[in-house]
Amino acid sequence: MYLKRKINEQLLSFHSLRFPLFKKIRSSHRYEAVVGIGGNVGDVKRRFEHLYVAFGRDKRVELFKTSLILKNPPFGYENQDDFLNAIMVFKTSMQPKEFLRYLLRVEKRFGRKRSFANAPRTLDLDIIFFDNRNINTKDLQIPHPHWYKRESVVIPLIGAKI
């Protein structure tokens, strides 16, 4: 069951038992990672719930915070359905590049197929922040470039009080 709230003409927020969620944890994991999640193909809200459960079963990460879910229009390639986006915050002992590879495997497990930039997708997982680090390599940019320009990131971040 989701509670729906209209933010403006283009944006809706959804709330459930797991979105938003704040848990106090004592973690042995070393780093904190903020991950943007999104999708616009299939039953995305259900997929987010399954993703929450999958992360809860994985000892390599501890999920302790989620944001509201935001429904927003696509950018870049606009001839597609609206996206649902949220934020998840983890503790992990993985290094940033290892964590990126881990997230790419999770995307694939949830049916992600890469066809072209900004294409419709079942699941998109982006590292927004990783333990206050700055990384700029071909494969990984942290903080995520242009995160501060995207409502799909900023509004869930505010909702998660990050």
Give per-residue pLDDT as tens, 10-42: 999 999 999 999 999 888 899 999 999 999 999
Q: Is the pLDDT of residue 118 over 80?
A: no
- Report how far residue 87's alpha carbon sits from residue 126's, in angstroms, rounded to the nearest whole number: 9
Percent of the chain whose predicted confidence (pLDDT) is above 70: 98
Average pLDDT over residues 99-123: 87
Give 72-100 pLDDT, tens digit per residue.
998 877 888 999 999 999 999 999 999 99
- Report how far residue 144's alpha carbon sits from residue 38's, in angstroms, rounded to the nearest whole number: 14
Does residue 145 have a cis bond before it (omega within 30 degrees)?
Answer: no
Q: Residue 83: what pLDDT?
A: 94
Quick one: 12-159 is in which CATH superfamily?
7,8-Dihydro-6-hydroxymethylpterin-pyrophosphokinase HPPK (3.30.70.560)
Confidence band for 1, pLDDT divided at 50, 70 and 90: confident
Q: Is the pLDDT of residue 43 over 80?
A: yes
Q: Are 35 and 152 in contact (CB under 8 A)?
A: no
Q: Tokens for 58, please give them.
A: 């994985």
Q: Residue 13: what pLDDT?
A: 93
Q: Residue 19: what pLDDT?
A: 95
Q: Is the pLDDT of residue 117 over 80?
A: no
The structural domains of the chain, with segments of one domain joined by +, span 12-159
Where does the chain show beta strands of DSSP type E?
Answer: 3-6, 12-15, 21-22, 31-39, 61-66, 69-72, 83-92, 124-130, 135-136, 141-142
Position with higher pLDDT, 75 vs 4? 4
